[in-house]
Amino acid sequence: MPSFLDTDIKYLKGVGDTRAKVLSSEIGVATFRDLLYYFPFRHIDRSRFYSIGELTGTDLPAIQIKGRFISFSIEGEGARKRLVGVFTDGRKMMETVWFSKITTFSTAYKPGVDYVIFGKPNFYRNAYSIVHPEVEVYDPAKPPTGFRGVYSLTETMRKKGYSTKILQNLVTNLLSNKGFDTIHDTLPDELLDYYNLMPIREALKQMHFPENSQKLQKAIERMKFEELFYVEAHILRYSMERGSKLPGFVFPKIGDKFNGFYFNVLPFELTGAQKRVLKEIRADMKTGRQMNRLLQGDVGSGKTMVAFMSMLMAVDNDCQGALMAPTEILAQQHYSTIKQWADPIGVNVALLTGSTRTAARREIHEGLLSGDIDIIVGTHALIEENVKFHRLGLAVIDEQHRFGVAQRGKLWHKNEKVPHVLVMTATPIPRTLAMTVYGDLDVSVIDELPPGRKPITTLLRYDSNRLEVDRLIYSQLREGRQIYIVYPLISENDKLELKSLEEGYKRTCDTFHGYRVCFVHGKMKPEEKDHQMDLFVRGEARIMVATTVIEVGVNVPNASVMVIENAERFGLSQLHQLRGRVGRGADQSYCVLMGKAKSGGDTKKRLSIMTETTDGFLISEADMKIRGPGDMEGTQQSGLAFNLKVADLARDGQILTRAREAALAVLRGNPALLAPGCIPTNPAAGDLHPIKVAPQSIGIMAEELRIRFARTLDWSQIS
By the criterion CB under 5 A, which residues form the site for Mg ion?
553
Calpha distance 409→54 (Å, rounded): 52
302 contacts which partner out of ligand ADP, Mg ion, none, CB within 5 to 8 A by kind? ligand ADP
Which residues does 400 contact at the CB level (< 8 Å), separation at least 6?
294, 423, 424, 425, 427, 634
Among ligand ADP, Mg ion, none, the one that 76 touches (CB under a kind-dependent 5 to 8 A) is: none
Query: Residue 477 or residue 556: which is nearer to ligand ADP going by CB?
Result: 556
Q: 351: which strand partners?
A: 377
Q: Which is nearer to ligand ADP, 398 or 497 (CB)?
A: 398
- Strand order, beta sheet including 292-297: 349-352, 375-378, 320-324, 392-398, 420-425, 292-297, 442-446
The yes or no reply on residue 600 touching ligand ADP (CB under 6 A) is: no
How many residues does this entry show for the chain?
A: 719
Binding-site partner at residue 271 among ligand ADP, Mg ion, none, CB < 5 to 8 Å by type? ligand ADP
136 binds, among ligand ADP, Mg ion, none (CB under 5 to 8 A by kind): none
Give me the DSSP letters along 470-505.
Answer: HHHHHHHHHTT-EEEEE---SSTT-HHHHHHHHHHH
- The pair phi, psi for residue 623, each rounded to 5°, is -60, -40
Kindly indicate which of the ranges 167-175, 296-304, 413-421, 529-537 contains the residues binding ligand ADP, using the contact rule CB under 6 A.
296-304
- Determine the interface stretch with ligand ADP among 227-235, 299-307, 596-604, 661-669 (rule: CB under 6 A): 299-307
Is the torsion defined by CA of 577, 582, 585, 589 positive or negative? Answer: negative
Q: 36 vs 330, which CB is nearer to Mg ion?
A: 330
**Binds 560: which of ligand ADP, Mg ion, none (CB < 5-8 Å by kind):** none
Beta carbon of residue 279, minimum distance to ligand ADP (angstroms, whole number): 15
Of these, 96, 213, 271, 415, which contacts ligand ADP (CB under 6 A)? 271
| SS3 per residue for 584-642 | CCCCCCEEEEECCCCCCHHHHHHHHHHHHCCCHHHHHHHHHHHHCHHHCCCCCCCCCCC
Smallest gap, in angstroms, from Cβ of residue 625 to ligand ADP?
Answer: 25
When asked if residue 577 is in the footprint of ligand ADP (CB under 6 A), the reply is no
Q: Which stretch binds ligand ADP (CB under 6 A): 9-17, 21-29, 118-126, 303-311?
A: 303-311
Q: Does 299 bind ligand ADP (CB under 6 A)?
A: yes
Q: Which is nearer to Mg ion, 329 or 546 (CB)?
A: 329
Residue 450 or 571 with smaller CB distance to ligand ADP = 450
Cβ-closest position to Mg ion: 553
First to last CA, the chain: 41
- The three-class DSSP label of residue 449 is coil
CA 711 to chain centre: 25
Which letter does DSSP use for residue 717 in this model? G
Smallest separation (angstroms) from Mg ion to the CB of 383: 19
Residues 6+ apart with CB under 8 A from 598: 77
584 binds, among ligand ADP, Mg ion, none (CB under 5 to 8 A by kind): ligand ADP
- Residue 305 binds to ligand ADP (criterion: CB under 6 A): yes
Q: Residue 571: which of Mg ion, ligand ADP, none does it interact with, CB under 5 to 8 A by kind?
A: none
With binding defined as CB under 6 A, does residue 297 bind ligand ADP? yes
Smallest separation (angstroms) from Mg ion to the CB of 334: 8
Among 217, 301, 432, 670, binds ligand ADP (CB under 6 A): 301
The number of beta carbons lying within 10 Å of the beta carbon of residue 185 is 17
Cα separation, 425 vs 419, whole angstroms: 19
The residues of the shown chain that bind ligand ADP, judged by CB under 6 A, are 268-271, 274, 297, 299-305, 426, 450, 555, 557, 584
